Amino acid sequence: MDPQDDSFDFLFKIILIGDSNVGKTCLVQSFKTSQFCERQQNTIGVDFTVRTLSIEGRRVKMQVWDTAGQERFRTITQSYYRSAHGAMIAYDISRRATFDSLPRWIHELKQFGAANVLTALIGNKRDLEAEREVQFEEACKLAEAKGLLAAVETSARDAWSVEEAFVMMARRLLMQNDTSVADDHTHAVMLRSNSHTVSLTSASSADEKKPCAC
């Protein structure tokens, strides 16, 4: 059961941050097991999950550091930022406050993370459409304004776009480290949320920012 299959071509560390109860642990679990656990315990400190993806014949090991959302743990979780290659900042689309704290998370990441840490915004609980308080465009705008990789909406409950979000991270990190991997544009445009298409990057330009094609 434990990932003793230590053969891999690339190893990426992803830090998963965001306010309390936005579904960080469920996201990781969905990524790891494709299952949703209705009754999830809150995370104390930092949890850890690993899954190896196969991308264009390369074995990419994704180590996900799932952090506690409470402010009090910030000093400790911050020490995990430095070694992260990628960061996913999660918020809950049905709770405005969790979106409003994104700039604080981004700032913190800039402060404690590596300079080139690849960052994506993850709007979770998309299944709660009826209770939506944050429009996807807002997330796109924020991602663009802050120069982040992408904004994605997911539903850990329905395993919707979760895998894709992680694969997108893996792919992007792979591109940075291995030039022979092409930016799979078709994949990128498949990341749809709420009928909006997120284009990760314009195929030709090296521009990191993704326009939000609405």
Partner 1 sequence: MLRRVSSSSSGKSSTSRRSSSVGFDEFGFALSKKRVRKLQHRCHDYSYPQPNPVKVKELCEFLTYWNGSSFICRNQIERFIRIGIPPAIRGRVWKCLLNIDSLRAASSFDYEACQVEIRRPLVDLGVSEYSIISTIDSLVDTENEISSGQSDLPSADLTLFKQIALDLRRSFPTHRTLMGDRPEAIEGQAKLFRVLTAFARYNPQIGYVQGMSYIAAVLLMILSEEEAFWALVALLEKPKYLSELFDSSMKKIQLQALVFHQLLKHRKPLLFQHLETLGVSSLHFIMQWFLTLFTSLPCWDSVLAIWDLIMLHGLQAVFRTGLTIILLLESRIMNMTEEAAVLPVLLRVPMDVSQHRVLIPALWNTDVQEWEINCMNSLVLEEASGGQDEEKVKKESAKCCTSSLSDGQRDVKPSQKGAKYTSKKEAPGSSAKNVFTRLLKVAQHYILESGKNSTAAKSSPAKKNPALSRLPKARISTSFAQAQSKKYVIQVRTKRSSSRRSQNSIQSGVKEERLPSQDSDGGAAEERCVKEIEERW
Pairing of the two strands 212-213 and 196-198? antiparallel
Q: CA nearest 94: which of 68, 39, 131, 147?
A: 131
Q: Which is closer to partner 1, CB of 38 or CB of 186?
A: 38
* Residues 116/84, Cβ–Cβ less than 8 Å: no
DSSP 50-86: EEEEEETTEEEEEEEEEEP-SGGGHHHHGGGTTT-SE
Site for partner 1 in 60-119 (CB under 8 A): 61, 63, 68, 70, 72-73, 75-76, 95-97
Are the beta carbons of 63 and 69 closer than 8 angstroms?
no
**Number of amino acids touching partner 1 (CB under 8 A):** 34
Q: Contacting partner 1 (CB under 8 A), which of 3, 103, 147, 211?
A: 3
176 binds partner 1 (CB under 8 A): no
Nearer of residues 30 and 193 to partner 1, judged by Cβ: 30
What is the smallest separation between the CB atom of 39 and partner 1, expressed in angstroms? 3
Of 6 and 206, which CB lies nearer to partner 1 in the complex structure? Answer: 6
7 binds partner 1 (CB under 8 A): no
24 binds partner 1 (CB under 8 A): no
